[in-house]
Amino acid sequence: MTSPTTCQRLGIYCASNDGARPGYVDLARRLGTELAERGMTVVYGGGGTGLMGALADAALAAGGEVIGVMPHGLVQREVAHRGLTALRIVDSMHERKALMAELADAFITMPGGIGTLEELFETLTWAQLGVHRKPIGLLDVDRFWDPLEALLAHLQGEGFLRGDPRAWLVRRDDPAELLDALQAFDAPTVRRWIRLGET
């Protein structure tokens, strides 16, 4: 086990739209404000709309530092936030994820769509393979993440996962409580995911 992580830069995965419930935008604003008030830096996808924009606007309004990472193709479509502390422009979505992972000390995934889930699953895969040992948080609202936890339990039960991937995930519905839990997180021991001789 490692010692708890000092989280100064938080990589946030979230949607570029508002979602169907007002609670999603409110949660993004609460998270942005909480991060800024703790002196933590937001590292996110760089967008100015949806939960991305609400997160960045709240953090900036509270005096926080916000770093966006965005492929130049999206910047050219004028979806980038124009008031960030810094906007790092990269060539591809792959480079975006790699740079966010490099910059962040820990990760938080908010409700979102396919892109948000893809970022979460890649980060979780890297953790299980031992590429990193950074905490991964799920910020919940109205039990949004219940189906994900059920799916992971199903995959584990069917023998496709060794160990419990949920051990890597810290789930809370309050931004302050989630950040406290991420700070105290000890990464599980990485297990070999394939054993030679097994079919």
Q: What is the pTM of this model?
A: 0.90
Structure-model confidence comparison of residues 116 and 75, the more confident one: 116
The domain locations on the chain are 14-144
pLDDT at residue 160, as a whole number: 87
The rounded distance, in Å, linking the Cα atoms of 79 and 125 is 29
Per-residue pLDDT reduced to its tens digit, 83-102: 999 999 999 999 999 999 99
Q: Is residue 198 pLDDT above 50, yes or no?
A: no
Cα distances (Å, whole numbers) of residue 162 to 123, 135, 155, 159, 193? 17, 19, 10, 7, 6
Structure-model confidence comparison of residues 58 and 6, the more confident one: 58
Closest C-alpha among 134, 148, 132, 137 to residue 174: 137
Structure-model confidence comparison of residues 131 and 199, the more confident one: 131
Average pLDDT, integer, range 11-26: 95
The rounded distance, in Å, linking the Cα atoms of 190 and 130 is 6
Q: Is residue 163 pLDDT above 80, yes or no?
A: no
Structure-model confidence comparison of residues 121 and 160, the more confident one: 121
Edge-to-edge strand order for the sheet containing 66-71? 86-90, 66-71, 41-44, 9-13, 106-109, 136-139, 169-172
How sure is the predictor about 190, in pLDDT bands with cuts at 50, 70 and 90? low
One-letter amino acid identity for 143?
A: R
Please tell us whether the domain made up of 14-144 is placed in CATH 3.40.50.450.
Answer: yes
Per-residue pLDDT reduced to its tens digit, 33-78: 999 999 999 999 999 999 999 999 999 999 999 999 999 988 877 6
Q: Is residue 79 pLDDT above 90, yes or no?
A: no
The rounded distance, in Å, linking the Cα atoms of 92 and 42 is 20
Whether 140 and 173 have beta carbons less than 8 Å apart is answered as yes
